[in-house]
Chain A
């Protein structure tokens, strides 16, 4: 079945460092890909998305490019801030195999940014 694999955390960085969180996926159809962020005590918030190969999603300085050839959707940010500390989830939605549009999530990667 469809699945998402993220790099294990926690990832600890100093402020202004470059961030990469790896995400790879397995899907039978043509999924849409997402990054969600969860701040402590809160629900998930959509960070960015891409709906087809070679699309680049971006928001708040974060970027991710849909790479069909490597089945990847790595999250990057050029300069992280303490306020970026959160848990990041990669997810896919494969409407081709199911009409529900359900999301399949990775296990999450905790990012800690130190001043």
Chain B
């Protein structure tokens, strides 16, 4: 079975720009979560998508938005980039209803905002 894949692996943007990050879920998983991991910190929950709808959101402003597609892949969009948005963005997939929330993480997309 394939794992979680993310693209791009690295990218550089400037303040005020917009970025789209992509994620393909592990085969058989129907739920996607996104996390932001600042340098030297633990991942912070951004939001989760289930059945193509947002199903829970962390303490992130509306300029962070997402999509989930019928094939369970997902996008994270960030508008009006700020310097503090520089981080590793992790996508994780899981199977809703499988019990304890065991997430499978991708390797991440490292965003640098200049």
Total A-B pairs in contact (CB under 8 Å)?
67
Q: Which residue of B lies closest to A91 (CB)?
A: B42
Determine whether the beta carbon of B55 is less than 8 Å from that of A51.
no
10 A-B pairs in the complex with CB atoms less than 8 angstroms apart: A34-B102, A42-B107, A43-B108, A89-B43, A93-B101, A102-B56, A103-B45, A103-B103, A106-B42, A108-B41
Determine whether the beta carbon of A103 is less than 8 Å from that of B55.
no
Q: Which residue of A lies closest to B90 (CB)?
A: A43
Partner of A32, one of B42, B58, B100: B100
Cβ of B66 within 8 Å of any chain A Cβ, yes or no, is no
Determine whether the beta carbon of A49 is less than 8 Å from that of B105.
no
Count residues on chain B whose CB falls below 8 Å from chain A CBs.
27
Chain B residues packing against A (C-beta within 8 Å): 4, 33, 35, 40-45, 48, 55-56, 58, 90, 92, 94, 96, 99-108
Partner of A103, one of B4, B40, B43, B107: B43
Determine whether the beta carbon of B56 is less than 8 Å from that of A95.
no
Interface size class of A (residues with CB under 8 A): 20 to 34
Chain A residues packing against B (C-beta within 8 Å): 4, 32, 34, 36, 41-46, 49, 51, 89, 91, 93, 95, 98-108
